Structure 1
Amino acid sequence: MYQYVLAIHIIFVVCWMAGLFYMVRLFIYHTEAQDKPEPDRTILSKQFEVMESKLWWIIATPSMYLVIIAGATMLHLAPYWWKQPWLHIKLLFVVGLIIYHFICQSKMKQMAKGVFKWSSTQLRLWNELATLLLFAIVFLVVLKSALNWIFGVVGLVAFAVILMIAVKIYKRFREKK
């Protein structure tokens, strides 16, 4: 039974992450559409709102809940995992990802009301946070080591710096066009 629940958990983690990554990409396009002249701005905004809503309520949010249910079921079926220090750190990162999810939901609702607080560059950086959380979670699950968390944090910080530099380089490249 555990292996079936694990398979479901992995499938919906993939679906959830795909939803989160694509949602923020839609936010970027939606934000950039605000620079377009009318009627393009209104047409694009309405289309992005439909796409964001469907992605959120049909894929991302149900997937998140199925991930949580499957994860809780696995912990119920294999309670010995609770004794593993890496699991506690992983669950902290999962909580961070859930918070990230609901911040994205708040952004979606703001944009639907015509409120655009973040620039497309800020949204690109925001998108990388989900990548960092995903890396941390996967490495903890695969390596099952909380003892080397200092090296993991240093690695994540280095990865974050590389991602931020890449976003900045891409921004300069876009601005030259």
Structure 2
Amino acid sequence: MYEYFKALHIIFIVTWFAGMFYMPRLFIYNVEAAEKLEAVKQILQQQFTIMMKRLWYGITWPSAILTLIFGPVVLFMGGWNNVVFEEQGRWLLIKLIFVIFLYAYHFSLHIIFKQQVNGIFKYSSQQLRVWNEVATIFLIAIVMLVVVKQSISLIWGLAGLVSFMAILMCAIKIYKSLRK
């Protein structure tokens, strides 16, 4: 039975991340629609609002909730709760800290979603492009911790993550210059 719950946990992680990857893209498109002629802007923003609501409430939120339900089930059924504060469970503790920050990121997307649905645009498309990559950073960190576990040192792991973030920021800057 453990494997079924683990599979469900992974499935809802994947669908949750899918929502968190696509939602900021819709934010970006919605912001860029504001630069269009009024008639086009209105049509595009109405369509993006419908798409955002369906994605957020139909996929992303349910997946986040089901991930949160199946995560502790897997934790306790697999006996991981017994090692989370021991040496061999350090990777899991760090992963759980990243997961807490991932939920904070999710809530930040919810705030931006509510703002945009209400016609409030506080962030530029460039800022949202950078914010879009935060989910990627969390995904890499969490997957690396789960797969590699205790064989990775904390220092090398953090160095790799910081290096990846630097590469992402450079790629965003290059993309911005190519768009001009």
| TM-score > 0.5, shorter chain as reference | yes
Letter in 1 for 2:77: L
| TM-score normalised by L of structure 1 | 0.95
Question: What's the CA shift string for 1:129-171, capped at 9, x where partnerless?
Answer: 1100110000000011286111111101110010011011111
Code of the aligned partner of 1:14: V
CA-CA distance at 1:20 after TM superposition: 0.5
Instruction: Name the amino acid aligned to 1:97.
Output: L
Partner of 2:166: 161
Q: Offset at 1:85?
A: 1.0
1:120 to 125, 135, 138: 125
| 8 Å contact from structure 1 (residues 85, 146) kept in 2 | no
Q: Could you tell me which residue of structure 1 aligns to residue 56 of structure 2? A: 56
1:97 to 87, 96, 102: 102
CA distance in 1, matches of 2:22, 2:115: 17
How big is each residue's C-alpha offset from its partner over 1:38-93, in whole Å with a ceiling of 9 and x where there is no partner? 11111111110100000000000100111111111011212344411111100010
Tell me: CA distance 1:146–1:127, structure 2 relative to 1, closer, same or farther (3 Å).
farther
1:67 aligns with 2:36: no
Distance of 1:51 and 1:145 partners within structure 2: 41
The code of the aligned residue for 1:8 comes to L
CA–CA distance in structure 1, aligned partners of residues 70 and 52 of structure 2: 25
Letter in 2 for 1:123: L
Quick check: 1:82–1:88 contact (8 Å CA) kept in 2?
no
Mapped partners of 2:28, 2:150: distance in 1: 36
The two structures have a TM-score, normalised by structure 2, of: 0.94
CA RMSD after TM alignment: 1.1
Correspondence 1:11 to 2:11: yes
Aligned with 1:132 (options 127, 137, 148): 137
Residues 57/146 of structure 1: CA separation in 2 closer, same or farther (3 Å cut)? farther
- The residue identity in structure 1 corresponding to 2:113 is M
Closer/same/farther in 2, CA of residues 147 and 155 from structure 1, 3 Å limit: closer
Identity of aligned residues (%): 50
Change (3 A) 1:146 1:90: farther
